[in-house]
Amino acid sequence: MSTRYNYDAIVIGAGHNGMVCAAYLARARRRVLVVDAADAVGGALRPIDFNGLSVPFAAQLDYGLDRSLVDDLELSRHGFSYAVEDIGSSVFNRDGSRIDYAMSNDDTRSLAGVSKDDARQWPEFRQRLIRFSGIISDIARRSPPRLGGDSANARTWLAIALKLRRLGRSEMREFLRIGAINIFDVLEEQFENPTFKAAIAAEAVLGHHLAPRSPNSVLTLLMRLAGSQGKIALPRGGMSALGAALQSACESRGVTFRMNALVRRVVIDNDMARGVELDDGTIITAPTVISSTDPRTTCLNLVGADHLDTGFVRRVRNIRSNGCTARIDFLLDNLSGFAAASALGLKRRLIYAPDMDTIERAFNDSKYGRISAEPLVELVLPTMLDASDRESRQHLATALVQYVPYQMIGDINMARDTLLENTRNIAELMLPGFKSHITASRVLLPTDIEHGLGNHGGHWHHAEIALDQFFMLRPVPALAQYQLPVAGIWLCGAGCHPGGGISGVPGRNAAVRILASVSLR
């Protein structure tokens, strides 16, 4: 441990990945500082005030937090637990009819409305997806190897090959076949019911800048299932509670936090990281600097093109990271007498996706900078899902809405109003009477997310997930091992492998790499 520096490592960003990385480093007895521009920890989980109610800045559900890191970091000792561990879903058609389903189980009793054939196909199809997602899960948890390289790299390749081999010949062939087509074609082969197909396609595209007919949409579905085999959960106290537990886990291991501290640049001397400079000119020193903001911002703004090779800069500039998901919060008054709410129990996740073509058309609109008239919507009422310790009679409904273009044509405030109105209408269709309970709303466009989290494009994954930005190529080949070409600078956020969502895996993988490296001097 060096005393020449203020800290052994500085983590830029107190999002969940930054904190996971910091906690693992501190567990290995490193002196760690986490700096964040915001006034509270959590990044997308950060609590913000919405008309007197505390709500997470962006993320609304846990689709796949890595449970091994919950154990490693003893998060339960820091107050973390689940209010609900397996939330069921309902998908709605245009006429308000719905199909209940869960990606986490084979129960066909709830699949009322689909044909007998579809119901018969579902368990086999789902189990196959879960088997295939096991391969992806294995890849996701590993730090990407280098092509060639040492025996550790060779072991990683061997382990992946063995896992594939264990599928057996015909399943391996099917894995490679469906991976090469798209989720639209896969679902067309399997099922008849258009709304049921759209429900599964929605899982593949949520958070991604792609539609069911796009390449890579099978990969993104398998990624989604890889985290928790289709279970969708909500922590007790809401998503922000995970941020608080991570902060407590970090602090118990000696991590220092400095909030309201925007990092202006990474200080580099002699081609080596020496620390960070804050916006107010303060310099804090450390031989290792780890950034959880997106790779493009890290390389081009915080490190600077002057310190990087021209070819590398060009590749980083071309990372695709334009977001397409908006979040809309609705504050609802006392829900008593809300018939639709009590009929559904409102303890479900409601998806509006009449058919796959509707999703595709919504995507097409966004490609040309337009707000889609009939977007894909995921609506939940977190205060109904987790009613623990609630005194307020007010309720929160949150909607994730796609596709909302990062670059809009026309007036942005008009676009905001249109999006709000379209989403309100869809919520009303799913829950008749919804509109009359709204007392306030908040719209977060990709540009607002970019502004609020400091990541270029406001993308869910900080960089799109596609085969050319995945695993050893994520976000670009030269950054796939979490390390920048300048000594002592690392990435640990959603922009690196395996990508975004609240999983914590990029943060942990980065910490493992950093601890194994000689550059934590």
Ligand X SMILES: Cc1cc2nc3c(=O)[nH]c(=O)nc-3n(C[C@H](O)[C@H](O)[C@H](O)COP(=O)(O)OP(=O)(O)OC[C@H]3O[C@@H](n4cnc5c(N)ncnc54)[C@H](O)[C@@H]3O)c2cc1C
Judge whether 352 and 376 are in contact, CB under 8 Å: yes
Element (H, E) at 70: helix 67-72
212 alpha-carbon distance from chain centroid = 19
Residue 13 or 119: the one with the smaller Cβ distance to ligand X is: 13
Residue 186, token pair as written in the block: 């896969």
Q: Is the Cβ of residue 287 or residue 504 nearer to ligand X in the bound state?
A: 504
519: β partners = none
| Shortest Cβ 5–ligand X spacing (Å) | 19
- Of the pair 13, 354, the CB lying nearest ligand X is at 13
Q: Please state the closest distance from residue 518 (CB atom) to ligand X, in A.
A: 25
**Cα 359 to the chain's mean position, in Å?**
20
Residue 239 C-beta: closest distance to ligand X, Å: 7
Residue placing its CB nearer to ligand X in the complex, 426 or 494: 494
Least separation in angstroms between CB 150 and ligand X: 28
- Tokens linked to 203: 């899982």
Closer of 219 and 494 to ligand X (Cβ): 494
Secondary structure (3-state) at 386: coil
φ, ψ for residue 476, nearest 5 deg: -140, 155
Output the smallest distance, CB 477 to ligand X, in A.
20
- Residue 437 CB, nearest distance to ligand X (Å)? 22
3-state helix, strand, coil in the chain (%, to 5): 40, 20, 40
Return phi, psi of residue 70, to 5°: -60, -40
Q: Closer to ligand X by CB, 332 or 491: give it.
A: 491
Strand pairing of 47-50 and 53-56? antiparallel
With respect to ligand X, which residue has the nearer C-beta, 264 or 315? 264
Contact positions toward ligand X, by CB under 6 A? 12-18, 35-38, 43-44, 58-61, 63, 207, 262-263, 292-293, 323, 325, 327, 400, 449, 453-455, 458, 460-461, 493-494, 500-502
Instruction: Work out how close the CB of 455 gets to ligand X at its nearest, in angstroms, rounded to a whole number.
Output: 5
What string of H, E and C letters represents the secondary structure of 133-151?
HHHHHHHHHCCCCCCCCCH
Axis crossing angle, helix 116-141 with helix 505-516, rounded to the nearest 10: 20
